[in-house]
Amino acid sequence: MRLTHLFFCLKEKSQDCMYLQYCKVCQSYKAPRSHHCRKCNRCVMKMDHHCPWINNCCGYQNHASFTLFLLLAPLGCIHASFIFVMTMYTQLYNRISFGWSSVKIDMSAAKRDPRPIIPFGLSAFAASLFALGLALGTTIAVGMLFIIQMKVILTNKTSIESWIEEKAKDRIQYYQTGETFIFPYDMGSKWKNFKQVFTWSGIPEGDGLDWPVRDGCHQYTLTIEQLKQKADKRVRSVRYRAVEDYSGVCCPVTKGVKTFFTTPCTEEPRIALSKGDLILATRGLKHWMYGEKILDSAADGGIRERGWFPRKCVEKCQYDSETDQPVDGEKKNR
């Protein structure tokens, strides 16, 4: 039995359950800062994201190891780039002849002794140049990911929690409630936040269930905000009806050129649609929308189908069938 499931089985009778989110897949309450991963098919403590390169989630137990990997990978690529550059320089130096009017490069053989231990011909030069490009590209890409991870670590957040905080600001501004959302886990000191993840023993502080919080906050401050956002999403969702069939492919060819080339660059799934299906859309792009298909909970066992679908495959329902009132306007795009 999972640790989170065992812990919250003991707390189901307490009043704290009213503040917790319930995972329908794992059939248990989720610990604060935990999220369900569709790829791993489990709830992950302090989940940051699912990384396809390590085929695992980055969360409470391995956040420090993953961040060190993002640091060491660019350093290794920088070292490899230096070797490639020096190799090409030394080999080309032995093959370059400088004339009065031009510079000539002879790739057939070195003109000076000693001869290289490993032959360096045109194919080796092309391979070294290609490897240099890969090394530099990896250095830039992974280095940017390392900077992003350090930013969230120094504020004691995860990538998901940063997104939750942005949505909290959007919710407060939309309804003009005048409230102020304070992220509860930011200790106010970058060094204290850093020590929450990086320790000399390699084991992160805490147990992944209870966390130190700022003054004026408690363990369920972030969870309560998530529940408010879910309720807000249900209120601001818009009902659509499918007018065309959609197979659920990532880049549909038959739905138009713009739909094909503007497919969302995300790991979130697509949902197949049949003509007449009802969907609750919660957000959207110009040519795509994200929402949840309205299913018969009794027949489908409570399974939720959420994902992206082409905007041209649906049309907005003029009236809500449950309330017989016009549906609310679409949520503004971010």
- Asked if 23 is an active-site residue, the reply is no
Number of residues in the chain = 334
The H-assigned helical ranges of 253-329 are: 257-261, 297-300
Helix-then-strand count for the chain, H and E: 8, 13
Q: What is the CA radius of gyration of the chain?
A: 27
Cα separation, 277 vs 72, in Å, equals 49
Strand partners, 306: 292
CA proximity to 73, closest of 3, 136, 164 = 136
The dihedral of CA 56, 160, 259, 278: what is its sign?
A: positive
Cα separation, 205 vs 211, in Å, equals 9
Which residue of the set 26, 37, 40, 51 is catalytic?
51
CA proximity to 80, closest of 143, 147, 136, 127 = 136
Q: Is the peptide bond before 74 cis (omega within 30 degrees of 0)?
A: no
Q: Which two tokens stand for residue 272?
A: 């197949």
Provide CB contacts within 8 A for 22, sequence distance 6+.
Answer: 28, 29, 30
**String of b and e for 93-111 (b: at least 16 CB within 10 Å)?**
ebbeeeeeeeeeeeeeebe
Instruction: Name the residues annotated as catalytic.
Output: 51
